[in-house]
Amino acid sequence: MLNMDRKQPLSLALDDIDWQPSPLSGVWRKPLEREAAESGWVTSVVRYAPNSHFSPHLHPLGEEILVLEGVFSDERGDYPAGSYLRNPPGSSHAPFSLDGCVIFVKLNQFSPHDNLTVARNTLLTTGLQRLHRDQSTYLFNCSEQSKADQARQVTMTQAGLVELLVVSGTVSITSQETSATTTLTAMHWLRLPNAQLTITLTSNDASVWIKLEHADLTEPESSAIGD
């Protein structure tokens, strides 16, 4: 087990974590949370070398992917950087990358009843995007309007577990309870239990993936919300 006590806060700079080989040649991983060696609950960053592939495999309790670099592919299509994918429980695929890619992956963390498949390019929309209709999963990036009017904040409306991945730029996180502010830069992953936060994009190129449990976000007036 690795970092599976989700009642404990956790802050990891991904650049400080070494790549670890996977069972398949050319595929490397940086585990962030892991229940078991090759099964169960997993959160990780995965790197595919050019012309590498993963064998066909099943997702017993779903798979969630954000493509960070390059183009990720499977038998259903090609997904460039910025693509968000959800493969529901019971689905399967055989992923690969012709030119290489880096992806953020969450495995076996869905409700058994969550049968919605999603494939969308988050770069086509700016502001606050809800990436999944039934769960509090978002991508928040700067829009042209927010660059001009500084409407760059979202606030959790009630306490709950929050998980963040800063994809690019700089983001500040302010606790509603203590007013303490932390600045995070690109490729930083944060998990906080029972937190109530304000998330601020502090650079024009900022983009942050947000996942909340038992909470929601207020929407800045300039945000574009997508289902």
148 Cβ contact partners less than 8 Å away, ≥ 6 residues apart: none
pLDDT given for residue 134 in this prediction:
62
Strands across the sheet with 136-141, in order?
A: 10-13, 188-195, 160-168, 207-212, 136-141, 127-130
Which 8-state DSSP code applies to residue 49? P
Mean pLDDT of the chain: 87
Task: Please tell me the class of the 10-119 domain.
Answer: mainly beta
In this predicted model, what pLDDT tens digit does every residue of 141-157 receive, in sequence order?
987 666 666 578 999 87
Q: Which homologous superfamily does the CATH classification assign to the domain defined by 125-212?
A: Jelly Rolls (2.60.120.10)
Q: How far is CA 91 from the centre of its chain?
A: 20
Rounded to two decimals, the pTM is: 0.90
Amino acid at the residue 81:
A
In this predicted model, what pLDDT tens digit does every residue of 83-137 receive, in sequence order?
999 999 988 899 999 999 999 999 988 888 888 899 999 999 888 999 986 668 9
Domain boundaries, the chain: 10-119, 125-212
CB hemisphere CA count around 110 (13 angstroms): 24
Q: Is 215 exposed, middle or buried (0-12, 13-18, 19+ CB in 10 A)?
A: middle
Number of H helices, E strands in the chain: 1, 22
In the chain, the percentage of residues whose pLDDT exceeds 70 is 88
| 211 Rama class: left (phi>0) / alpha (psi -120 to 50) / beta | beta
In this predicted model, what pLDDT tens digit does every residue of 197-218 receive, in sequence order?
999 999 999 999 999 885 567 6
